[in-house]
A and B are shown apart, each in its own frame.
Chain A
Amino acid sequence: MKHSFIDKYSYIESPIHKLPALFKIIFSFIFLIYVVLLKEAWWNYLIIFSLLLFFIFLSHIPPLFVFKRAGVILPFVLLVTIFLPFFKEDGLKMAIITFTKSFLSIIILILLISTTKFSDLISGLSKLRVPNIILMMLSFIYRYFFVLIDEAERMERAARLRSNQEGSKLLKTLSNIVGILFIRSYEKSERIYNAMFLRGFDGEKNECN
């Protein structure tokens, strides 16, 4: 199963896509640690950035896609660092460093998720001894959150069509939607368990792709 708009480039072919997931996970992690803890010098950032550009080129992912996605950190970075120059002497420099570090780490993550299928990522993590139950949770979220979002949106649209509510009434309506969503989720989990049980699920295996 694939959700094309969150990791839409993970199914294309390139030398980087062919690498084993475990290797990519470990490499990204080491790279991340290096970026966050590296010596704060502009040449260091330049080397990392050109390395990342090289990987993006190798993986056939459109660079614009990566940079657009990396833009999600901008609001948080601005919100936090906007005060830095006012209370510290080298505040401006620190703001730029913080921004660069976040930007580089996010590009590493986007590269990882865009070059690795979700199922490969999960099996890579299981080789790293991540507990089975956490991996099951991740797979379940990935598989079902679109189903639940659709359901929540349908209920919200229905509520809006019936009346135009404001303020505290809207809060109650939205809360009711969430409550019903939980009940429907529970009923869905019963049906899913029955289907999994018939296929031999005993609480241990998580291979289901």
Chain B
Amino acid sequence: MTIFPYVIAGWLLLIGIYGVVRSTHLVHTVVCVSIGQSGTYVLLLAIGYQKDTSAPIFGSVNPPGSPVVDPVVQAMALTDIVVSATVTALLLALVVQIAKRHGTVEPDQLHALRG
């Protein structure tokens, strides 16, 4: 086991959050959310990875029972990607509406809500 992919996963999540915090454009914010989520893909795939094994698809080359990488985390990563596509699409649609209603896509210029 090498620690490298786990460091990458954590770094992607942190850089995504940093990007959201420092963002000056809403599309950039949404992309940074996606980058943060990419960290979870790397983490999930790193967890299931095994050296010198193949993809979890059994056939004539790869008879059932031969060593493969963990299919559970692959299914999780796939589900995660679908979730990400949904969230990104919805957030971008909201950004389009914000651009129409507020006339700006700069987070600091949005004055409708005061926290």
Is B one of A's binding partners? no
B-to-A contact residues, CB < 8 Å? none
